[in-house]
Homo-oligomer: A and B are copies of this chain.
Amino acid sequence: MPKALPMLDTTAALCCSPMAAAPLDEADALGIALRLKALADPVRVRLMSLIYARAQDGICTCDLAPAVGVSEATVSHHLKQLREAGLIEGTRKGTNNYYRPRPESLAALCQILNPRCSC
C-alpha cells in the first residue's frame, strides 16, 4: 500500500490559486512540496507525459522503460514515487503492471499553484 501524503483540499483547489490568495500554512506547504518533489525529475516528467498521453489504455512498465531509455527496475522505482504522490495509479494484468493518470490529483496541484487560474 503506497504511503499516504497529507490530503490536499481539492474542492478549495478548484478555483483561483490558494497559494497567491494568502500565505500557505506549514502542513499545506509540506503536502504540495512532497508532490512537487515526486514530479521534479526529468525521467519522471517524461514518464508522466507518456502515461498522461496514453490515458485511456494505460501503459505498461515494459513499454515505458524503452521509451525513456532506462531499465525496467529504474522505471519501477520512479513509478513508485509518482504512485505514492497520488499522481498515477497502477494495476496488474497478468505479468505486467499498467499505469494510468490520476488527472484530478495533478489538476488540484496545478490549480493550487497557478496564479493565472482563469476561473
Contact = CB atoms under 8 A, between A and B. Distances in A.
A112 to B, nearest CB: 9
Counting every copy of the chain, the complex holds 2
Given A20-B101, A53-B23, A36 B45 contact: yes
Contact of A115 (B46, B106, B118): B106
A50 B30 CA distance: 15
A118 B116 contact: no
Contacts of A110: 110-111, 113-114, 116
Interface of A: 17, 19-24, 26, 29-30, 32-33, 36-37, 39-46, 48-50, 52-53, 55, 67, 101, 103-104, 106-107, 109-111, 113-116, 118-119
